[in-house]
Amino acid sequence: MGVLLFQVKNTNTAQSKQGQKNAAEITQYADQILHPLMDLLDKKLTTYAEYCERTVLKRVLKQLWRIVINAIEKRIVLPPTEKSHLLPTLPNTKIEDVSRLLKNSKLPTLNVIENMQSAKSLSPKHCSILEESLETIKLYFHANGNGLKKSYLEKSSELQSLKYALSLYTQTTDSLIKTFIATQSSQDLATHEDGPVGEISIQIDMFTHPGTGEHKVTIKTCNELKWPVNTMFKPFVEISMIGPNLSDKKRKYATKSKHNNWSPAYNEIFYFLISNENQVSGFELQFDVKDYCFAREDRLVGIAVIQLKDIIDQGSCSCWLPLAKRIHLDETGWTILRILSQRTNDEVAKEFVKLKSESRNDVNIIQN
């Protein structure tokens, strides 16, 4: 079913003049991709109907429904096998925990992004075909009242989960970033898994300017940065405000670099603006400590993330944050990154994907 779906070319289906033609085309494609599945179900259910009592057959139908809907979600909408392309050097490791695997990956960040972009992603047309297919599958399992109740099918947790996963593909970049922040509340989990590579002292003042929604962030110092001592080291901090509706605002600042200092003091202040139309709780700050170099790309030392919803009641926050080699993402987080990586003409999406997919590459550090 998935193979047949991705063979459908992604043409524009939004032209109003071709509405009826497009609807008929979507229905035709849905019938085509469902053909193998329906053949299989017909064969199985014919056998079950012959030998099973009605009550037993209902239980069989419910189990088959769960299997079919789960398979569509896990193998077509959110296929975990696609993430294996992100880490080709680790083919025998469990794909489900990609975040954990990144700590040993030898891939540079650029390759991670390129592999996410090349992974199969559902187009709006693919989503329409799948939605049409789901309607057909529901009718099949309802069987004109002889099968499962429509209310059971519609309210089943499996279908709700699939519809949610499918809805991610149709959301705007701002909406996806908002969903990411709301769902990825354990990005610092990688610190516990890998151990910290240093820490950073910050102060955030949550005062809100009446007209602009201005917030102040002070970067004080970094401490005990784990970096080779036999090499040139110029650490600096990049501070990024992440959240919806920031495309027309300054989203990133950077401190000055410090020469050969593994516990550098900065004491620099930065101001971020958040429009009044958004709640502060829907934003987060990411701190990337990097090694500056004029002749090559800056190398990541460590990452820390703080979500403003965790400090909004305090008004201000002064704390030390442990630095991790990477951030931890769950299945939803990786799905959002993969969807956004397809939006190559969207600067906010590209910037967000790069921020969240970066990881410290200890192999390159040792080699250099």
Q: Could you read off the pLDDT of 134-150 as tens digits, one per residue?
A: 999 999 999 888 889 99
Edge-to-edge strands, sheet with 284-291: 252-254, 235-242, 284-291, 299-307
Show the domains of the chain with their CATH numbers: 2-79+120-170 (1.20.58.1100), 186-367 (2.60.40.150)
Residue-level pLDDT at 234: 95
Beta carbons within 8 Å of 290's beta carbon, 6+ residues apart: 235, 236, 237, 238, 298, 299, 300, 301
Identify residue 217 by its one-letter amino acid code. Answer: V
Does 19 score more than 70 pLDDT? no
Residue-level pLDDT at 157: 93
Both structure tokens of 43? 């064969």
Judge whether 189 and 216 are in contact, CB under 8 Å.
no
Does 15 score more than 80 pLDDT? no
Average pLDDT over residues 296-315: 91
Gap between the Cα atoms of 303 and 20, Å rounded: 51
Beta strands in the chain (DSSP E): 199-205, 214-223, 235-242, 252-254, 265-273, 284-291, 299-307, 316-322
Categorize the per-residue pLDDT at 95 as very low, low, confident or very high, splitting at 50, 70 and 90. Answer: very low
How high does pLDDT run on average in the chain? 83
Average pLDDT over residues 19-28: 79
Residue-level pLDDT at 300: 95
Average pLDDT over residues 152-156: 94
Average pLDDT over residues 319-345: 90
Both structure tokens of 135? 């309607």
Does 316 score more than 80 pLDDT? yes
Categorize the per-residue pLDDT at 18 as very low, low, confident or very high, splitting at 50, 70 and 90. Answer: low
Categorize the per-residue pLDDT at 93 as very low, low, confident or very high, splitting at 50, 70 and 90. Answer: very low
Categorize the per-residue pLDDT at 88 as very low, low, confident or very high, splitting at 50, 70 and 90. Answer: very low
Average pLDDT over residues 239-261: 94
Residue-level pLDDT at 2: 83
Gap between the Cα atoms of 272 and 214, Å rounded: 6
Does 174 score more than 90 pLDDT? yes
Both structure tokens of 33? 């991709």
Does 283 score more than 80 pLDDT? yes
Categorize the per-residue pLDDT at 115 as very low, low, confident or very high, splitting at 50, 70 and 90. Answer: low
Average pLDDT over residues 266-295: 88
Q: Could you read off the pLDDT of 243-253 as tens digits, one per residue?
A: 999 998 899 99
Does 132 score more than 90 pLDDT? yes
Average pLDDT over residues 248-266: 94
Residue-level pLDDT at 106: 41
Q: Find how far residue 188's CA is from the centre of its chain.
A: 15
Which of 2-6, 66-70, 272-276, 294-298 has the largest mean confidence? 66-70
Residue-level pLDDT at 281: 87
Which residue reads 């794909």 in tokens? Answer: 95
Percent of the residues in the chain that have a pLDDT greater than 70, as a whole number = 82
